[in-house]
Structure 1
Amino acid sequence: MNTDTHRVERLKLWLDEFDGKIAAFCRHYGLSRTRASYLSQLLSGNRPLGERAARKLEAECNRPNGWLDMSNSEPQKLKYDAARFGQLPQADRELVEGFIEFVLQRWERRAVSSTKAAPLSMSEDYVPPAQQIEAMQMANRKPRKNAEHGKKTSRNRNAA
């Protein structure tokens, strides 16, 4: 199978998420009727899905660059010891799940915006959920005045 044919097969699998309906696919991604017609021609085999066209379609639909060229096999499952993970306190499980979601979102944004998604730095912009909540609470907290002296308390002096 050549690359163009592989891309069309991958596109067909993608369209299966929309019950194979090109119109539903185009509505979901905000594509024009002209693009719908073009996709129909691709799927019928009347036009090849070349490199430039594939990259343009991926960009229009917020897919990582090269996504249509990837294998059709199922993605590998995350390997971890479920029993040990289940023994973690709920807050720690949420922290791990939040970090995984953060890494996936960062990768997706980078993959869409560049031709080659660089590995993420573990220190880059990640704030654990508990710290995010605490920071939001601190930002929304109004300084209290000490009832006896009419002064800000030491707790709020640092926040102000």
Structure 2
Amino acid sequence: MPNITLTRRQNVLALFQDHVEQAVAAGAPPKGLEQAFAATLQISPSMWSQIKSSRPIGDKLARQIEVLCGKPVNWLDEPRKNTAPTPAEHAFLELALGAWRSTNVAGRKALTAQMKAIVERGT
């Protein structure tokens, strides 16, 4: 059974990613996009920061987010398959591949350990 807290966080982060990409494509500067997204969700920037890191999204807030983002009821609760990488993700993958290929076994172990640590922290 999927973890609803993790599923909701992943889905709201996907909504944020879409928000950022649309805003940047429209010419908005990256600075202030976190606050703008929080305003879209009608929550404080502080609460948005907490949600990104660890705060669970309750049922009431989940439904609020769905309405304000134009998603159907329970959209946040449904696990999604990974989508195609964004241009920023492609750039990161190219950088990671370059780092991997330019180092030795010890460097690769260090890269792997660092990535695992980041994933485990959830940041």
Q: Shorter-chain TM-score: which interval?
A: 0.3 to 0.5
TM value normalised by structure 1? 0.37
Higher Rg: 1
More RCO (CA 8 Å, sep 6+): 2
TM-score (norm 2): 0.46
Structure having the larger proportion of residues in helix: 2
